[in-house]
Structure 1
Amino acid sequence: MDFASKITPCLWFDTQGEEAARFYVGLFPDSRIVDIGRYTEDGHEQHGQRAGSVMTVAFELAGQGFLALNGGPRFQLSEAMSLIVYCEDQAEVDRYWNALAEGGGGQSQACGWLKDRYGLSWQITPKSVVEWLAGPDRIKAGKAMRALMQMVKIDIATVERAVAA
């Protein structure tokens, strides 16, 4: 396992950690599976998993390290933790949104939030929207926020029109 990053998010899955990691790695450039760890007989009375089954998957998405843990059904992913994908344009927003929502995922909240088929929450966020919200012009920031609160998947052109009005 590579310990290049001092802090690595650990994502708890029931049994589908490897499947999820492979899906994410196939979606984002500069991504890879780093290591797969397997359960042994040791500790079976605590973990209850079959020896040889996948325990952890270390992977990188766009250079950021993650660990998927197949820990059983005890804990579930929630919107309390989400991953933000900063997008350059609408085509990139659409590509990530559609891929992550496919296969059972879907909208979770307004403003570009969705849950994927594994229950992981994502914020698909255009960089331009972040710039409007954080910029010095508070009137434009307010207009952008009002427009965003009406959307599930963010439409950059609609936000641009709202900011310009």
Structure 2
Amino acid sequence: MNNKIHSQKLTPNLWFTTNAEEAVNFYVGIFKNSSTGHISRYGKEGFEFHGMPEGTVLTMEFKLEGQSFLALNGNPNFTFNESISFIISCENQEEVDYYWEKLSEGGDPKSQVCGWLKDKFGVSWQVVPAALQKMMQSKEPEKQGRMMGALMQMKKLDIAQLEAAYNG
């Protein structure tokens, strides 16, 4: 499969230290509509700069739910943080539970708050029910305030509890 990274105007590039291929395979195993693409590898050239053994994955193209990504094995100078995250819009609680369980496996439990989690590779995700967006766009501040109060107490979002708080 050829992801044709350059046919997409914007492509997120995820910088890993040495486990880009492991991360890509992890994500592709979670998202149903996903695939891997072209893999480029380090050669002998430039070893004095990059320090990667010949044959190590340099970049790996992949798609998750139609979105193209590029994974790169770089060096340990850069790491992920919560200032960038990927939002997963979930239709129901079953989807919220599925993505939360899969992506939080091996991740940092301390980073789980208000629907956000950090996976075992340090990438941040927001697992969000579509119903939340409707409540967030409410023109009734008291309903929205009750819902936000409930949301701020949660790790994984619970649609029934959010709706109960919203409806009073």
**Normalised-by-shorter TM-score class:** over 0.9
Residues 1:146 and 2:140 are matched in the alignment: no
Q: TM-score, normalised by structure 1?
A: 0.95
> Identity over the aligned pairs, expressed in percent?
48
Which blocks of at least 5 consecutive residues in structure 2 are unaligned?
none
2:128 to 119, 125, 128: 125
Report the counterpart of residue 36 of structure 1 in structure 2.
Answer: 39
Deviation sequence 1:59-110 (CA, Å, 0-9, x none): 0000001111110211111101111100011110000000111134435142
- Residue aligning to 2:20: 17
The residue identity in structure 1 corresponding to 2:129 is P
Q: Would you say the 8 A contact 1:107–1:113 is kept in 2?
A: no
Match of 1:83 in 2: 86
What is the CA–CA distance in structure 1 between the aligned matches of 2:77 and 2:124, rounded to whole Å?
18
TM-score (norm 2): 0.93
Counterpart of 2:48 (choices 33, 38, 45) is 45
Partner of 1:99 in structure 2? 102
Partner residue in 2 for 1:8: 11
1-structure distance, mates of 2:68, 2:166: 36
Query: Residues 45-64 of structure 1: matches in 2 within 5 Å?
Result: 45-64=48-67
- Measure, in 1, the Cα distance between the counterparts of 2:97 and 2:71: 26
Gaps of 5+ in 1: none
